[in-house]
Structure 1
Amino acid sequence: MWAQAQVLTVQSPNKKIKVQLFNRQQTKSGEWYLSTAYLAEKKETTAIPEIDLGLVRSDQDFSKALKLVKIGQAKLINETYSVLHGKKLACQNAANEVKVTLENATKAKINIIIRAYNDGLTFRYEFPETKGSFQVTDELTSYTIPRETKRWMEKWNPANEGLYTAMSADKVQKQEWGYPALFQTGDASCWYLLHEADLNETYCGTKLSNVKDSTHYKLTFPNQGDGRGQGSSIPTITLPWKSPWRVIIMGGLQDIVASTLVDDVSAPSVVKNTDWIKPGVVSWNYWSSNHGTRDFKTVKAFADLAVEMNWSYTLLDWEWDTMTNGGNVEDAAKYILSKGIKPLIWYNSGGNHTWVSATPKDRMLTHENRVAEFTKLKKMGFVGVKIDFFESEKQDMIRYYLDILKDAADYQMMVYFHGCLVPRGWSRTYPHLMTYEAVRGAEWYNNVPEFTMTAPEHNTILPFTRNVVGPMDYTPVTFTNSQYPHSTSYGHELALSVLFESGLQHMADRPEGYLTLPDTVKAFLKTVPNAWNETRLVDGYPGKTVTMARRKGAAWYVAGINAENKESAQKVQLSFLQTGITYRCTLIADGDHDKAFQTASRIVNNADVLPVKMLRRGGFVAVFTPNQ
């Protein structure tokens, strides 16, 4: 019998996060698992008691009878990098790393690379041999989550557009679940978010399944039926090979919201010249008129809206290839450019993987198609593409996503993926990937009546889940109604412009929705940034309320929303402001009713508290600029 079951401990640089490697048989050979712990206020919480490890390859098993061969020397990862858009522009990839080498009965080796960060931990598998091509028939990574742990999870769907379900104890459902998934430990001191990062064409996307055991969330491969059954759900690898990182963002809710861990562990940018990549706000006609781009005059009206609101872009959505009523796509591009703004344009991802027949369908499907289309778009003055309906996370679809990004970089085209997977860190590698949908956003006011009442709660969950892991195009800030009405206040809608981060922020309302706003509100929307220097959670709890502060230069933008069916009186602590400086605060809050605003101005410093009243399902924004 081996003396100790635990054979390795890796701690974060700040000593708050600990990950340990155990042998289940308490010997040097057998099955292996990780255990994670979090230290808060001198109290250690076991966050995830067991994370099963192992892979099954088509030629042999790497999960049972694994013998410990070597524990490598601890290594400090310490890298700084900058990005062009996101929650924080100056980032740091800093961790303690240890590589463990195991071998199976045939002496074939597998490495487990473990990192502990101040805001979480990551691990990945590595096959170090240099020859061979195999299928990975199963990944046995599985997270054991105690029943008392609270969780917010989205039922798996290929477009990642579901609602989050809050569960614990006997309410935990057995299901397949999408990323990211949020958990709060039973003693309430530790939160963590499960995800994956640095996925590339050497593997497929995975999801979480507790179908067999409600307390065990096993990584599972895509369903064979996804993408109309096209492609294999089993990935094929060529050695040497590394898996994507398995990512656990951990700490308090403030740590979760501020984390850039998904990008930190992903491959650095491969785009040398990035001068052409410009985050910005976009006018978008689909929400208010599903066939808006078919009408040249509607396209002109939304271009004029972007000019009036000082936004950088307007998007031509589907049906641009059948545009009538005074002009076609070439005329539209000329008109938009003549106004001093830039056009973006929609495409169907095409191929047999989608049921959607909307045209143009296949112009992004092959390298040759993309080269021809990007060449034409460049000549017309388009600067970005929105590509829709991927419907699968199989390995061939991951390759398709990345092939699009590589070709788009060659033609200096910004990219927006719609009807797609959730972010896996690609915006760091390909900074012209500006945003993804992969969220139940405002478009769902077009789809179902239930979003009228579920949106307020949903909106307060997204800052702690989906938007943590990368840009999210919710298409926010809609004051008028689409097919189905809002139950949120105008203040709530305005706050979404700050709460939700997206490298291209598509403002979805019709022109009159913005142009009839009070001057102070219009002025705010004309200047609100969408790429940030710093992000901090001020207060909040998923499904209840959230208040967030984001810094752009020396100015701070604060936004808060209330999901509940009762008024909320907030006292916003301003400790995020710089010490020794006074700021002019402009507050735009709910007025007497849900379509009214109340504006106030005052001088504050970081010792002050800002009182704010929110209506039921209400919200507010505040801008703090240094007082000169």
Structure 2
Amino acid sequence: MKFVTQVIRLSILLIMSHALVQAQVLNASSPNRKINVRLLQRAGKSTNELYLQVIYKSGKQEVEAIPEIALGLTRSDQDFSKSLKILHISKPKLIKEKYAALHGKKSVCENSAYEIKVSLENSSKSKINVIVRAYNDGVAFRYEFPGKQGTFQILDEQTTYTIPRETKRWMEKWNPANEGLYTAMSAEKVQKQEWSYPALFQTKDTNCWFLLHEADLDDSYCGTKLNNLQDSDRYKLSFPNPRDGRGQGASNPTITLPWVSPWRVVLMGALPDVVASTLVDDVSAPSIVKETGWIKPGLVSWNYWSSNHGTKDFKTVKAFADLAAEMNWPYTLLDWEWDAMTNGGNVEDAAKYILSKGVKPLIWYNSGGNHTWVAATPKDRMLTHENRKVEFAKLKKMGFAGVKIDFFESEKQDMIRYYLDILKDAAAYQMMVYFHGCLVPRGWSRTYPHLMTYEAVRGAEWYNNGPEFTMTAPEHNTILPFTRNVVGPMDYTPVTFTNSQFPHTTSYGHELALSVVFESGFQHLADRPDGYHDLPDAAKTFLKKVPNAWDETRLIDGYPGKYVIIARRKGTAWYVGAINAENREMNQTVHLPFLQSESNYSCTLITDGEHDKSFKTQFSKVNHSSTLAVKILRRGGFVAVFTPDSN
């Protein structure tokens, strides 16, 4: 197959001399030529170690974004990290496909890259392949054991990212529920720690950003995390801690040949490229669900935030069903304690009432098992295939549309298998799924599109847990669109105007904007009914109409921890959400190049009012060359809706 040089520009240089300090094995360019990934081998040493290097073209300048990504695996029978001999380098393969996404930041996605497979053998003549892809928005690589049989344990993965000290980074200390705050670091302030995915980096060339993650994880492996405990500049992938999940399950994964690892993913580009990227889903396996008409994203009323025991009260459940009906939201969630419901009805009565209002019920479960300390019931109904079949059949008959499953507390291989078994059984009964107290997305929403959202974030629930979120939320909210929410749906449970146990410092405009700034297939709006009933008409109308599954997403402006302005398109309408983290007012001039040049639009702009608990609404006519001048209060925000005028 002949590849035109100006399209692919890919060269392969075989090693000619072991006298060199290092030799370049291959240099692969992305289709747009902005990203180069090089495979190099240290020669002149007995180890013959392989590593990747990632180069980003910023204007005319080449930026060495990641100078070294060490490669290798250690299997229970032998080592595949040293003394590797190159047997063959494949011809470059064009990966090009389009696929539809039922929810997320983009409805039509592209998986487009150039792929090279490097075949290697170790000193024992055993084979391992390294598969490398160069994308316009990043790099992906994975390992492959091509053997036909054999079962082995993986003792260690040597994948290690070397990050220059001056690179800025935003990282979350690792915790089983992935509900921490992000820490901004660089130079001498870089901490040694275990870190959760995803991790965001800004190079010395401020136009180059990248996000480290993994994707297409299946039950042949465990989840990994980043670890720089040995060297602050080197982030090694490490396996789950033995104590995770109350010590249940093995930390080291067991594989059966033939086998491929999850993709190690580097999303890269200017900051808008990273925010808009769907690379984590792009590299993941296509959908296993053939008939998808039953999978419907939507907004959800949720009673837990305002009353931690709300589902125990039948009258509270009815009030939140009434709220969903009034606001045109398709769902309401029965959270924990639904099996102890009193005050006029039980779960069957609740389901009937909710359905009578034209709303569909969702329902909570404890994941159960010895991996969690939480005793809340029902605890075992999701734990086995047999139990799930019985429960899903019952729920389907009662009219429930989906399940929220909580408290996983581990990313060991047995827990990854449990997650995926739930998804497979749920698909058979056409039940949508929401994971809570869980891992960060790994691309499963492409493979299992009925997986609507994950928690894995410090969200508004933390206003219930202590006073610290009152002051940390504004900054945290402006980091999430550049980190956690980039890699998949995120159920923060946003848009709360009243207070829970601990108060907000965010403005009403900030809270309203979270409905656009944050993306989730099930968007649980968490305030009590009065919080929405008491809104002015413009804000209430906005929440009745705002989508939560998008055709296109663009970052207009922003910086992690400071502010963010995001535009999302649904059909021909555009929605803009903006939030400010800082303790000072901002005056923003918002440009509108995303609007179609040949169309005029009606704009509804809802901004902060005179104080943080008020709104100001403006109506205007605009086009793609117009600008909006917006004043944003400290910790404030705004939304805007642009609908094309009919000709």
Structure 1 length normalisation: TM-score? Answer: 0.99
Shift of 1:261: 0.1
Find 1:48's aligned residue among 43, 62, 66: 66
Shift of 1:421: 0.1
Q: Is 1:157 aligned with 2:171?
A: no
Find 1:39's aligned residue among 57, 66, 80: 57
Find 1:595's aligned residue among 602, 613, 621: 613
Q: Secondary structure at the match of 2:53?
A: strand
Residue 149 of structure 2 corresponds to 131
Residue 287 of structure 1 corresponds to 305
CA distance in 2, matches of 1:566, 1:233: 47
Shift of 1:28: 10
Residue 311 of structure 1 corresponds to 329
Find 1:469's aligned residue among 464, 487, 493: 487
Shift of 1:513: 0.1
Q: Secondary structure at the match of 1:421?
A: coil
CA distance in 2, matches of 1:160, 1:215: 22
Residue 245 of structure 1 corresponds to 263
CA distance in 1, matches of 2:182, 2:544: 32
Q: Letter of the aligned partner of 2:405 in structure 1?
A: I
Q: Secondary structure at the match of 1:30?
A: coil
More moved, 290-299 vs 23-32: 23-32
Shift of 1:29: 6.8
Residue 361 of structure 1 corresponds to 379
Question: Any idea what the Cα deviations from partners look like across 1:357-377, whole Å, max 9, x if unmatched?
Answer: 000001000000100101110
Residue 259 of structure 1 corresponds to 277
Residue 430 of structure 2 corresponds to 412
Find 2:111's aligned residue among 93, 105, 110: 93
Find 2:396's aligned residue among 366, 378, 399: 378
Q: Letter of the aligned partner of 1:261 in structure 2?
A: L
CA distance in 2, matches of 1:398, 1:24: 36
Find 1:337's aligned residue among 355, 371, 376: 355
Residue 219 of structure 2 corresponds to 201
Residue 528 of structure 2 corresponds to 510
Question: Any idea what the Cα deviations from partners look like across 1:127-166, whole Å, max 9, x if unmatched?
Answer: 0011100000000000000110000000000000000000
User: Does the Cα contact within 8 Å between 1:457 and 1:544 map onto a contact in 2?
Assistant: yes
Q: Letter of the aligned partner of 1:237 in structure 2?
A: I
Correspondence list, 1:440-479, <5 A: 440-479=458-497
Residue 241 of structure 2 corresponds to 223
- Structure 1 residues without counterparts, runs of 5 or longer: none
Shift of 1:15: 0.3
Q: Secondary structure at the match of 2:281?
A: helix
User: Does the Cα contact within 8 Å between 2:222 and 2:240 map onto a contact in 1?
Assistant: yes
Identity over aligned residues, as a percent? 76
Residue 538 of structure 2 corresponds to 520
Q: Secondary structure at the match of 1:600?
A: strand
Q: Is 1:563 aligned with 2:581?
A: yes
Q: Letter of the aligned partner of 1:235 in structure 2?
A: P
CA distance in 1, matches of 2:539, 2:332: 21
CA distance in 2, matches of 1:384, 1:26: 59
CA distance in 2, matches of 1:60, 1:539: 50
CA distance in 1, matches of 2:521, 2:484: 15
User: Does the Cα contact within 8 Å between 2:69 and 2:162 map onto a contact in 1?
Assistant: yes
CA distance in 2, matches of 1:266, 1:512: 42
How many aligned residue pairs are there? 628
Distance 1:514 1:464, change over 3 A: same
Shift of 1:187: 2.2
Q: Letter of the aligned partner of 1:488 in structure 2?
A: T
CA distance in 2, matches of 1:27, 1:98: 25
Residue 498 of structure 1 corresponds to 516
CA distance in 1, matches of 2:500, 2:448: 34
Q: Secondary structure at the match of 2:620?
A: strand
User: Does the Cα contact within 8 Å between 1:29 and 1:68 map onto a contact in 2?
Assistant: no
Q: Secondary structure at the match of 2:214?
A: strand
Shift of 1:569: 0.4
CA distance in 1, matches of 2:338, 2:573: 39
Correspondence list, 1:103-182, <5 A: 103-182=121-200
Correspondence list, 1:22-37, <5 A: 22-25=40-43, 30-37=48-55
User: Does the Cα contact within 8 Å between 2:328 and 2:544 map onto a contact in 1?
Assistant: yes
Question: Any idea what the Cα deviations from partners look like across 1:327-346, whole Å, max 9, x if unmatched?
Answer: 00000000000111100000
Residue 544 of structure 1 corresponds to 562
User: Does the Cα contact within 8 Å between 1:445 and 1:482 map onto a contact in 2?
Assistant: yes
Question: Any idea what the Cα deviations from partners look like across 1:550-580, whole Å, max 9, x if unmatched?
Answer: 0000000001000000000011110111111
Q: Letter of the aligned partner of 1:36 in structure 2?
A: V
Question: Any idea what the Cα deviations from partners look like across 1:564-602, whole Å, max 9, x if unmatched?
Answer: 000000111101111111111100000000000000011
Q: Is 1:302 aligned with 2:320?
A: yes
Q: Letter of the aligned partner of 2:363 in structure 1?
A: I
Residue 10 of structure 2 corresponds to none
Instruction: Quote the RMSD (CA, aligned, Å).
Output: 0.8
Shift of 1:186: 1.4
User: Does the Cα contact within 8 Å between 2:207 and 2:271 map onto a contact in 1?
Assistant: no
Find 1:210's aligned residue among 225, 228, 233: 228
More moved, 563-572 vs 4-13: 4-13
User: Does the Cα contact within 8 Å between 1:562 and 1:616 map onto a contact in 2?
Assistant: yes
CA distance in 2, matches of 1:536, 1:271: 29
Q: Letter of the aligned partner of 2:314 in structure 1?
A: F
User: Does the Cα contact within 8 Å between 1:548 and 1:558 map onto a contact in 2?
Assistant: yes
Q: Secondary structure at the match of 1:481?
A: coil
Shift of 1:319: 0.1
User: Does the Cα contact within 8 Å between 2:470 and 2:505 map onto a contact in 1?
Assistant: yes
Q: Secondary structure at the match of 1:457?
A: helix
Q: Secondary structure at the match of 1:385?
A: strand
Q: Secondary structure at the match of 2:88?
A: strand
User: Does the Cα contact within 8 Å between 1:75 and 1:96 map onto a contact in 2?
Assistant: yes
CA distance in 2, matches of 1:274, 1:301: 31
- Structure 2 residues without counterparts, runs of 5 or longer: 1-16
CA distance in 1, matches of 2:416, 2:200: 24
Q: Is 1:64 aligned with 2:82?
A: yes
Shift of 1:7: 1.2
CA distance in 1, matches of 2:545, 2:345: 31
Runs of 4+ in 1 over 2 A off after TM superposition: 1-4, 25-29
Distance 1:324 1:330, change over 3 A: same
CA distance in 2, matches of 1:273, 1:29: 51
Q: Secondary structure at the match of 1:5?
A: strand
Question: Any idea what the Cα deviations from partners look like across 1:64-121, whole Å, max 9, x if unmatched?
Answer: 1011111110000001000100000100000000000110011101000000000000
User: Does the Cα contact within 8 Å between 2:46 and 2:83 map onto a contact in 1?
Assistant: no
Residue 586 of structure 1 corresponds to 604
Q: Letter of the aligned partner of 2:115 in structure 1?
A: E
CA distance in 1, matches of 2:456, 2:433: 14
Find 1:608's aligned residue among 626, 629, 637: 626
CA distance in 1, matches of 2:43, 2:328: 64
Shift of 1:25: 2.4
